[in-house]
Structure 1
Amino acid sequence: MALAVCVFCASSSKIDKIHVELAERVGAELARRGHSLVSGGAQVSCMGAVARAARAGGATTVGVIPEGLVDVEISDGDNHELVVTPDMRSRKGEMDRRSDAFLVLPGGIGTLEELFEIWTARTLGMHDKPLVILDPTGVYEPLRALMTGLVDQGLARAKVFDAVGWTASVDEAFDLLERSQPRIEATPEDYAEAEL
């Protein structure tokens, strides 16, 4: 089944080329498997690389970019559709609405913000869209250790790890995205404590 896969990734121009090459591999594999891409709408860095590779493989790409970043991030006019939103919050909402699954590549604080919002909503049972972190170079290992520590200290529930797939392999990342993932049922305590 074809999915609209939202890829969260870096748009920094000072990024190591290994991350850009990963984005290219992801875009090519996405196209090979017959999926479409939803991304942040910029033509720079990993964001541009994943979209170009997806289009080169025949995939449809949709870019979603806030008005204030059109010039800063150099919007990718080659997308099949470029959606310009008023701000970052509406950008994330539009990306969420248009996507069937989420794939997170190495990135900075913007990528982390996107990851945590989707991860939180999935943990609370607000959606059942697959979420996968693809981390072949260990960028997110400190995050995994942090989350494990939060669970160990009772500040987060163990179900946070049920809400996300974690892999170092592009093939496995797409296998996880394509696999039906059960909805996580939130308990009243999840909401009352406001801790995940």
Structure 2
Amino acid sequence: MNYGLFEALNGFAGRVDGIDDLMEFSAVWLIYALFAVVAVLVAIAVWRRRLRPVIAVGASGVIAFATATLIGRFDTEVRPFQSHTVHQLIAHEPGSSLPSDHATAAFTLALAVGAFLYRRWGLILGVVALVIGVSRIWVGVHYPADIVAAALIAVLSVAVVNVASRGPRPRHRPDAASRTPIRAATDVTP
């Protein structure tokens, strides 16, 4: 199924030069535009003294990178162009295919920005991350499962940071309004 989906999408490559150019740009360079936008959003948050959300975005990235690196070391799936005849539109080193580093970074930053900094920017960056992921398949360097794995790593990384940033849940204490007031010894009514 993974290869079938890859063939369906990669099969469109090489037909229309303008679309191929757009996909090549998206697969290679769009990640840098995403990084630039995130850098500006982080700078704005720091300027507004919103340091905890900035730390959460960074922690999400570190966890996602570590997870992707660990999975990549144990994955034996090679890139599509290493084992199949594909329309490879960009040069790429052979190696482990799962997960896509570009997609992992893009999805993690998009989700982290949306969860911790600016929800609307997170949605916009999410669309950009999806374009990056699809373009990596289009140009022949990743399977669809590589992109899905990247998105899952991003979701889990952001979720871990979100839960951890909430800290331990305090014990339930009744609020002041529900407590029975304590009367002073001098406050005696007949």
Instruction: Give the TM-score band, short-chain normalised.
Output: under 0.3
Greater share of residues in strand: 1
Greater share of residues in helix: 2
Normalized against structure 2, the TM-score is what?
0.28
Instruction: Give the greater-gyration-radius structure (CA).
Output: 2
Normalized against structure 1, the TM-score is what?
0.27
**Structure ranking higher on relative contact order (CA contacts 8 Å, 6+ apart):** 2
